[in-house]
Amino acid sequence: MNIALIAHDKKKDDMIKLALAYRNILKNHNLYATGTTGKRIIEETGLKVTRFKSGPLGGDQQIGAFVSEDKIDMVIFLRDPLTPQPHEPDVSALIRLSDVYEIPLATNIGTGELLLRGLGEGFLDWRNAHHLCSRL
Ligand SMILES: O=C(CO)COP(=O)(O)O
């Protein structure tokens, strides 16, 4: 599975906690992240992550493009709802595209944990069937 991990600055510590707690599940998947989130995950968890640009510099849009190309199976985007973001339109666009393509999306650590547990239990295996069908 291809998983996108993104966190606003005040939520980055939560992302690290989540990634450490579910490291054994995440290590079996392809991880993608916006620039700074990815840097921290790599440094603090040892997980392998493909990094895009930083969010405010276009990283959210790059991940959105992957979503639109069916290259992302799950998005965990720990948003900070209390701090205005200069790139708010990009944030909304990524969330919108995840809904357009019906990609499981978590915007807080509680739902993020549920998605990762579900991933470990195989609840997202339908995405593999979906990929097989789209290739026919
Ligand atoms: O701003 C972000 C998401 O909107 C995250 O970007 P960084 O991971 O580069 O901080």
Q: Which long-range contacts (CB under 8 A, 24 or more apart) does 27-34 make?
A: 29/1, 29/2, 29/3, 29/119, 30/1, 30/2, 30/3, 31/3, 31/5, 32/2, 32/3, 32/4, 32/5, 32/63, 32/66, 32/72, 33/4, 33/5, 33/6, 34/6, 34/59, 34/60, 34/63
Amino acid at position 102, single letter: E
**So what's the pLDDT on residue 59?**
98
Question: What pLDDT score was predicted for residue 36?
Answer: 98
Q: Which of 9, 15, 16, 34 to mutate to test the pocket of ligand 1 (most atoms within 8 A of CB)?
A: 34
Is residue 70 within 8 Å of residue 86, measured between CB atoms?
no
Q: Which residue's alpha carbon is at the smallest distance from atom 1 of ligand 1? A: 55
Distance 54 CA to ligand 1 centre (A): 5
Token digits of residue 58: 């276009």
- Mean pLDDT per block of 10 residues along the chain (136 residues) reads 98 98 98 98 98 98 97 98 96 98 97 98 90 84
Is the ipTM here above 0.85?
Answer: yes
Rounded to the nearest 5 degrees, what angle is found at the Cα of 61, between the Cα atoms of 52 and 1?
60
Give the pLDDT score at 130: 87
Query: What is the structure's pLDDT at 132?
Result: 87
Q: Which residue puts its alpha carbon closest to atom 10 of ligand 1? A: 36
Beta strands in 1-136 (DSSP E): 2-7, 30-33, 49-51, 74-78, 105-106
pTM, full prediction: 0.97
List the binding residues for substrate. Answer: 8, 12, 34-37, 54-55, 87
Tell how far the Cα of 127 is from the centroid of ligand 1, in angstroms.
26
Q: How many CB atoms lie within 10 A of CB 48?
A: 12
- Provide the pLDDT for residue 134: 85
Q: Give the chain's domain count.
A: 1
pLDDT in tens, 95-132: 999 999 999 999 999 999 999 999 999 999 988 888 88
CA distance 38 to 19: 11
> How many whole angstroms from 53 Cα to the centroid of ligand 1?
8
Domain region containing 40:
2-135
Q: Which positions are annotated as active-site residues? A: 60
Residue 38's CATH number? 3.40.50.1380
pLDDT score, position 135? 79
